[in-house]
Chain A
């Protein structure tokens, strides 16, 4: 179970969120007019390096992740993971015990969002933040969401002995 990709799925998502954050840093100079929005890439210097490195790392990580999902689906034909499914694949609901553990984790994530989203909205309204900072705020919420979920599920799978 500890090597089950559904259990480790939040860790993968946290890595992807972190890389999106790095990618956003690389293209953080937007040019906006009344009729169009464009992005100005600052290739060269730190931003350019971070942009290329994050793109490369993202591609590598995505490839490894897709290989693992394919392997999981071959080994578990009854529990296939659909990458584009609306239902989060990290839900572990084979039976009532697993459903209970999933529900507890989801409740914690929901509780987190009920106060963090309004707080983020208030911060954005009250303070003159740059677009990059707002993006980082959203990515931080996504990162923490997966962290809460992972830690809660992981807690129940400690000391696995028969």
Chain B
């Protein structure tokens, strides 16, 4: 399962889900689905999210089982 830090980094940038959704051209609901882990984004969307949150894709997403403390 894919884990992520979208919510954490979004809060750090003081973005709402709508703000972030507008930046990456998806609905607010899709940001919510990603944060809840209900949906794994495409590579394109993952890259857009990383860019919007000023981080790298592998800092934003990782597979369950990898050491989360390193993130």
Check: A160 CB closer than 8 A to any chain B CB. Answer: yes
Q: Which of chain A's residues have a CB closer than 8 A to the CB of B59? A: none
Q: Which of chain A's residues have a CB closer than 8 A to the CB of B33? A: 97, 100-101, 156
Per-position 1/0 for B28-39, Cβ under 8 A of A: 111111100011
Q: Is the interface on chain A under 10, 10 to 19, 20 to 34, or 35 or more residues?
A: 10 to 19
The residue on B at minimum CB distance from A155 is B38
Q: Which of B36-71 contact A (CB under 8 A)?
A: 38-39, 41-42, 45
Are B27 and A97 in contact, with the CB atoms below 8 A?
A: yes
Check: A85 CB closer than 8 A to any chain B CB. Answer: no
Q: Which of chain A's residues have a CB closer than 8 A to the CB of B29? A: 1, 97-98, 101, 156-157, 160
Q: Which of chain A's residues have a CB closer than 8 A to the CB of B34? A: 97
Give Cα A1–Cα B21 distance, bound, in whole angstroms. 14
Give Cα A162–Cα B20 distance, bound, in whole angstroms. 11
Are A97 and B17 in contact, with the CB atoms below 8 A?
A: no
Q: Which of chain A's residues have a CB closer than 8 A to the CB of B17? A: 162
The residue on A at minimum CB distance from B28 is A162
Give Cα A156–Cα B32 distance, bound, in whole angstroms. 9
The residue on A at minimum CB distance from B15 is A162
Give Cα A160–Cα B45 distance, bound, in whole angstroms. 21
Are A98 and B27 in contact, with the CB atoms below 8 A?
A: yes
Give Cα A101–Cα B41 distance, bound, in whole angstroms. 12
| Residue with the highest number of chain B CB atoms closer than 10 Å, among A1, A98, A156, A162 | A162
> Besides A1-B29, A160-B32, 20 other CB < 8 A contacts?
A1-B28, A94-B26, A94-B27, A95-B27, A96-B26, A96-B41, A96-B42, A97-B29, A97-B30, A97-B31, A97-B33, A97-B34, A97-B39, A98-B27, A98-B30, A100-B39, A101-B33, A101-B38, A157-B29, A162-B17
Interchain Cβ contacts under 8 Å between A and B, 27 examples: A1-B29, A94-B26, A95-B26, A95-B27, A96-B26, A96-B39, A96-B41, A96-B42, A96-B45, A97-B27, A97-B29, A97-B30, A97-B31, A97-B39, A98-B27, A98-B30, A100-B39, A101-B29, A101-B33, A101-B39, A156-B29, A156-B33, A156-B38, A160-B29, A160-B32, A162-B16, A162-B28
